[in-house]
A and B are shown apart, each in its own frame.
Chain A
Amino acid sequence: MRNFGKALYNYRVHNQDPTTMVGVGLVVLFAYLIAAPIVLLLSDAFFVQFADQARSGQSMGEATLYYFNRVFLSVIATDVFWLPLLHTATIAFGAIVVALVIGIPMAWLISRTDLPGKQWFATVLIIPYMLPSWTFALAWLTLFKNRTTGGQPSWMEALGFAPPDWLAYGAVPITIILALHYTPFVILLFGNALRQFDSTLEDSARIIGAGNGVIARKIILPLMLPSLVSACTLIFAKCLGDFGVAYILGVPVGFDVLATSLFRAISTSQTGMGAIIALTIVVLGTISIMLDMYLLKEARRFAVIGSKGSMNRTTSLRGYRMPAAGLAMLVFLVSAVIPLLALALTTVMKSPGVFTLDNFTLAYWIGSDVGTTALKQGILLTPEFWQATWNTLWIVGSAALGAGFLGLLVGYAVTRTSSTMISTFLRQVTFLPYLVPGIAFAAAYLSMFAVQRGPVPALYGTPIILVLAILADQMPFASRSGISAMMQLGRDPEEAARIAGAGWLRRLGSVVVPIQKGALVTGILLPFISGIKGLSLVVVLAVPGTDVLTTYALRLVDYGYSQAANAVVLMICIIAFGGTLIVQKLTKSKLSDGLGGK
């Protein structure tokens, strides 16, 4: 009787509010939406698939090393794996070097010198990162492509210069574009480190007799190194998973990187092989993220004690002020203005690169008799465009809404549950998509939802799979912001509401959510922007009926209808850029604060 009483008591105590139940619910949900697809995808690597029974000489479902052989050792290994790996590595390292070469001087100029228009440059030099990377690939095509691929001639061609293949496609343009796109990482991370660097450290070295060279090598460099290495690992991880740029500039000439090779394997239903390539990307990505985390931890050791604020001394550029500003302006022009301008101009020009008045037209936007095979009317009059826009808004919108609320709920469960098992699992599982590149994550969703599983029908071809995939993919950011918001809130306001007599739902609705309104808005808007820009995830999962703006643009590119494609891309840029500015206004935060996130 006594034991029964105690058991009843414990039951009542632990179920006085549904926090634990919510925690368990979230564990199940994310095990299903995140962990299961990834595990399933990776398991494809070890078991014989239906289509490969004959070739592998084993029957379906048997454990096998066939796929490892095929990807790493067979005759096609060079083409499907080793060459793409080499390409990926070359591009990533090339991009890192170029980004450092451009980013380090820019970071120094805008954080430690009297560069004219410093504040303005600090904002505009970050613009490339706010826009989708593959935007610049389309701009590149517009400017540099040659007759190797079809479609309209590029500006270069129109000006009478035929760009060679190495300039038009493949490693060189991909490297340059990724470098320009990720240079903001260097500017932000290195710039922040420079800004926080305390000049008194420099002074104290100088007082004991150290020269400029010694100070640079022994004081500044060691303290700056973590931020630089961190920028490098981040760029590496991003390049590893970047699909759009290579798809636009590499695939047409048979230049594959890991992400496009994975896409090819998936689109030809070679799931076993796809799983191995995905696994490789995940492992490489994990290593670089772990490296970054380790370095961040190391960097914390350098936290300068007692440094009150940083004595930030600006270096006077003297006679070099204008040349330096010119250089920064050049970077801005090349990395943002020219590509966007080129895209914008193509949408109002009949023949690219011909600057005569009669060549300009608004037909591609609002015309009704456009003589191309793909589209008969301007993009704004095309129902498919509006369908894609609507799809984007509601699919990405509901995914972002879901991610935002679930993120806050995860934050609630993690900070309130008494079970460390639940909170640890939730933290880790929601972070998992961060390590999996979009293409691989999409592949995971295909393995999971392409067929009926239990009561869940096959979802491929429906918008639901897109909503779920985008939602899951955005969880790392959403849950991190939810957890930190709940940590800051503490328990008091909620306990006060309990004392006043409010039940759990009431506390959530009247106290927690209203207080977290700001965090919630950010937690919804940021996934929304990132979801709108995202290409790799939707390119695998969308079908013509569920086209979103990004996949619609890509389809138009595939048709060679570049004016319309560029118009769509511009719309995406406007939404992404505007959204980012709104978030920064709302939260009074800088983009750099969220850099560790997605």
Chain B
Amino acid sequence: MSSISIRDVRKSYGNTAQAAVERLSIEIPQSDFLCLLGPSGCGKTTTLRMIAGLEHPTAGQIHLGDRTIVSVEDGVYVPAEKRGLGLVFQNYALWPHMTVEQNVEFGLKLRKVPKAEREAIIGEVLEKLAIARYRKRLPSQLSGGQQQRVALARMLALKPDVILLDEPLSNLDAKLRLDMRAELKRIHQELGSTIVFVTHDQWEAMTLATTIAVMSEGELQQLGTPDDIYERPANRFVAEFVGNLPINIIEVGKERSGALVDWMRDTLARLSLPQPATSVGIRPESVRLSRTSAEGSRKARIVEVVPTGGSWIVELSVEGERFFAIAGELPDAAQGESVFFHVEPRHLHIFDVEGRRIAA
């Protein structure tokens, strides 16, 4: 079993000043299920590929357990084929000229596993992933979901300590996503491998990972549990990136004014903040609506109520300024009518001038 340690890794292409990955340090403990989350171009895939050995860092070190696989400064570089990691590609990258069985067998042959043992392992992983009856088929004769299972089987047959997954659920439909999510969780629990996966999809990240590393523009923004990331975003980027509906952001800097700003300033005055706030984020789902006024609540007009199946997105207008809420029940006020909304202080995400979180 292996931990992964990424230290001060930088990756730039050619002579461009903008690095794809900048001063990245992440310690991934053994048996962790870590997600690299971020928008496209944030450097997450590059990071995964650097761990795999398909890209090489421009500076820094990567360790697997107590084994150094990359150290630019010490001239250490272990090529991908010698790292012994498992990687499942986003498009599965099955070898089109080999049957399911041969795809799984290839790596075992390279490791000079005897024939009988190979047969046993192949049978076992194909059985486990419920694709045993396709063993003689070519990848082109399989559906997308089956292909992914073959890709997983091919990787699992080698029993790697470290498993890397590139967007593992993104090419699947809703039902298969749930199945595969359960499958991956099970694999993690059974094998205890260290798993790192990459996604831009926060649902994927939230449901799978034990730890999430949010990245943006090549830099690590926050490393924490899914709850940390959601409940206590370290900065404005994380707050705005994570969440199903875009978070409401209220700018409360000195030069700002308006109805919402005034309301928020009043609310903040009641908290004793260690430093002045510049902006405040409020998730639509933490907004409470009521017909009656209460302490700290604000009056607003309902612009539109959009059903999303099970909950409702309520667009509010506070003297012309837009504000969104999610209601678990159909609000008993109609479109155009007034309601009061209220937010618990612990649901306020308060950020300073640099966009960093201020702990209340």
Binding site for B on A (CB under 8 A): 2, 4-9, 11-13, 16-17, 492-493, 495-503, 506, 510-511, 514-515, 517
Contacts and interface: CB of A to CB of B under 8 A. Distances in A.
A502 B95 contact: no
A501 B54 contact: no
Contacts of B80: 16, 495, 498-499
A8 B75 contact: yes
A500 B54 CA distance: 12
B71 to A, nearest CB: 7
Could you tell me the dominant secondary structure of chain B's interface residues?
loop
Nearest to A8: B75
Contacts of B74: 5, 9
Contact of A502 (B75, B84, B110): B110
A501 B93 contact: no
A517 B97 CA distance: 10
Nearest to A503: B81
Given A6-B73, A495-B89, A500 B97 contact: no
Interface of B: 52-54, 56, 71-77, 79-82, 84-87, 89, 91, 93-97, 106-107, 110-111, 154-155, 158
Could you tell me the dominant secondary structure of chain A's interface residues?
helix
A276 B280 CA distance: 80
19 contacts: A5-B74, A7-B75, A9-B71, A9-B72, A9-B76, A12-B76, A16-B77, A16-B79, A16-B80, A17-B79, A492-B91, A493-B94, A496-B89, A498-B53, A499-B80, A499-B86, A500-B158, A501-B107, A501-B158
B75 A500 contact: no
B227 to A, nearest CB: 33
A310 to B, nearest CB: 29
A521 B288 CA distance: 69
Among A12, A498, A501, A517, max chain B CB count under 10 A is at A501
A136 B224 CA distance: 79
Given A6-B72, A12-B77, A506-B110, A515 B95 contact: yes
A4 B73 CA distance: 8
Nearest to A2: B73
Nearest to B76: A9
Q: For the complex of A and B, list the 6 residue pairs with the smallest distance between their C-beta atoms, beginning with the closest.
A: A8-B75, A500-B107, A492-B93, A12-B77, A496-B93, A16-B79
A506 to B, nearest CB: 7
B110 A4 contact: no
A502 B81 contact: yes
A515 B89 CA distance: 18
Nearest to A513: B97
A509 to B, nearest CB: 12
A492 to B, nearest CB: 4
B81 A501 contact: yes
Given A9-B76, A16-B79, 19 more contacts: A2-B73, A4-B75, A5-B74, A5-B75, A6-B73, A9-B74, A9-B77, A493-B93, A493-B95, A495-B80, A495-B89, A499-B80, A501-B110, A501-B158, A502-B110, A510-B106, A511-B95, A514-B97, A517-B97
A264 B118 CA distance: 68
A506 B110 CA distance: 9
Given A514-B97, A515-B95, A515-B97, A497 B106 contact: yes
Contact of B75 (A6, A17, A498, A506): A6
Nearest to B154: A500
B96 A515 contact: yes
B89 A492 contact: yes
A565 to B, nearest CB: 46
Contacts of B81: 497-503
